[in-house]
Amino acid sequence: MNVISGKLKAPVKAIVYGPEKSGKSSLASALPSPVFLDIEHGTSNLDVSRLPCETLAEVKESIKWLATGDHSFATLVIDSADWLEQLINKNIIEKAKDQSIQSIEDFGYGKGWTKCAEAWKEFLCWLAPLMRRGMNIVFITHSRVKTVNEPGKDQGYDHYEMNIAAKASPLISAWADMILFINFYTHIAKTSSGKAKVTNGKERRIYTTHCAIYDAGNRYNLPEELRYDFDEDNLAPIVPEEILEVFTERSLGEKLQKAETKEETQSKKSEPSVNDEESIYPDYKELVSLVDQLSWLNNSADEVQTYMRKNNWIDETEIWSDASPQNLKRIVNHPVEFAKKLGIKGPTTNE
């Protein structure tokens, strides 16, 4: 049994959300070697590398290329999650092949949103090979305001949340290591007459921990609130050092790309290093194939992940596609037996 002790420099899984024009994409553009999965087409004013996507099939093809192709990108920025969800829902509607279903609501009784959440689970599995390669993953999404009415309280209050399906939001939040909420900071002062007056609303803040007003959180012990500015001369974002440090320390994309040169590959074969932090990442190309072959597990993801956690294949923050290739191969080699053991539906001849 290969036991790995201590902290691992795993890539960052992050969500950045906030109101329109709050600087979400600009923040992501300043992260290590980013490439944008350009679904929303809202980065034309940014000097960034991008992969334009119009359909869910193009999204999947772009992710496969990033997992197996020759590049040195270290961070994938998905811009944006709410526009990606539109592609997911469109794909669900097209698969239904029913003229009466023109929107996700037409499935009735919340069934469409359940299908949406299941598709989100599958999408997160597509990202596993990228993280095995050492790439950070960043979702950008817009925010929306929801009124919360607590029992026993006379008045409700406004709460910012991610603008994605209610059934999908908890899945993505649990997957992420870092959820950052960006908003404009408003100074409120009282006038001589006692009335409240807004004196400034241009400064930006990044919030990193949860409170009643917004969802946020992180596993890196970040300060609760960080100032977020732009350079006055070239309007470039000034990313807080605390955030940039997390991404820089954990970004392995360039190291892994460098290790793929012929000379280093030969050297690696002849002189393997057990202390090399990159050695903890298995063959990501093989993982892409395994995840594809096991896509049927998404139909029973909760049962599969419960079994994997019980048997120490994954931890509480991971999903089934984060299991090692060795364990995934066990299922690939004996799919029917695995399905029977868990009492779930096995693969069909169509998969």
Give the pLDDT of residue 254: 42
Q: Give the pLDDT confidence score for residue 316 in this predicted structure.
A: 77
Query: Would you give the DSSP letter of residue 224?
Result: S
Q: What one-character-per-residue DSSP string does 47-116 give? A: --EEEE-SSHHHHHHHHHHHHHSS----EEEEE-HHHHHHHHHHHHHHHHT-TT--SGGGG-TTHHHHHH
Specify the pLDDT at position 276.
36
- Give the per-residue pLDDT at 236: 80
Q: What's the alpha-carbon Rg for the chain, to the nearest Å?
A: 22
Q: What is the DSSP string of 25-66?
A: HHHHHTSSSEEEEESS---TTS--EEEE-SSHHHHHHHHHHH
Neighbours of 12 (CB within 10 A): 25
Domains of the chain (ranges; CATH) run: 13-268 (3.40.50), 294-351 (no CATH)
Report yes or no: 172 and 164 within 8 Å, Cβ to Cβ: yes
pLDDT tens sequence for the chain (351 residues)? 566 666 667 899 999 999 998 999 999 999 999 999 999 998 888 999 999 999 999 999 999 999 888 899 999 999 999 999 999 999 999 988 888 888 888 888 889 999 999 999 889 989 988 988 889 999 999 999 998 887 877 788 889 999 999 989 999 999 999 999 999 887 665 666 666 555 556 789 999 999 989 999 999 999 999 999 887 666 688 889 999 989 987 655 444 444 444 344 444 443 333 333 333 344 566 777 888 888 888 888 889 989 999 998 888 777 888 888 888 989 999 999 999 999 998 887 444
Predicted TM-score of the model (pTM): 0.75
Determine the pLDDT at residue 266: 43
Instruction: Say how far apart CA 110 and CA 114 lie, in whole Å.
Output: 6
